[in-house]
Amino acid sequence: MDSNMIKSMERNIVRDYLEAEKEIPFATLIEYMLQCYPNSCFSSNYKNGWDKIWKSLDDIIKQAYELFRYEILNWCGCGDVEGSDNVVMHYLQVCNCDKMSKRYEIMEEYFGTTSIYDNILLLCLAYTMDAAELTDHGSGIGYAWLTDKGKIFLWVLEKVTQISDYTNNN
């Protein structure tokens, strides 16, 4: 699938589900991952029959999370995975804000600053998210916005966090 077709599929998911504040259906999330990432572990597992054990949207969300974390970001699973996921999620939430006052509020709450330029590690995170095509920016990376892929990943991160919170609290 070429990049224009992938972007079109991502745009449709964002428009039809995320902007309408609806859950992404099980089948749509599977189709997205199979079509857009045919050489991923997810696609390989799916072709090898693992789809028979994935019974719920939560199972697919966990698989989507692993695709983003391990194959798109190319991050490992050691260290403080939950902590790093929360940092990424909060940064993507900042980039998803239309109003600067809300961006500053989230930045201050989670990162102790209102500018990524004041925190070199946060700036490195911004470059990483941009390189992974989860964000895009104009004249300054400090004012990046989410791409459709970034919006899907943010949705996945927020959902997997809810699943983890539920699992850890029960």
pLDDT digits (tens, 9 = 90+) for 110-146: 999 999 999 999 999 999 999 999 999 989 999 999 9
The domain ranges of the chain are 3-72, 81-169
- pLDDT more than 70, % of the chain: 96
Which pTM does this prediction carry?
0.89
pLDDT in tens, 28-69: 888 899 899 999 988 888 888 876 777 777 888 888 999 999
The per-residue pLDDT of the chain, averaged, comes to 89
Q: Which CATH number fits domain 81-169: 1.10.3720.10, 2.40.50.140, 1.10.10.10, 1.20.1250.10?
A: 1.10.10.10
Q: What residues pair up with 146 in beta bridges, in sequence order?
A: 135
Q: What percent of the chain has pLDDT over 90?
A: 58
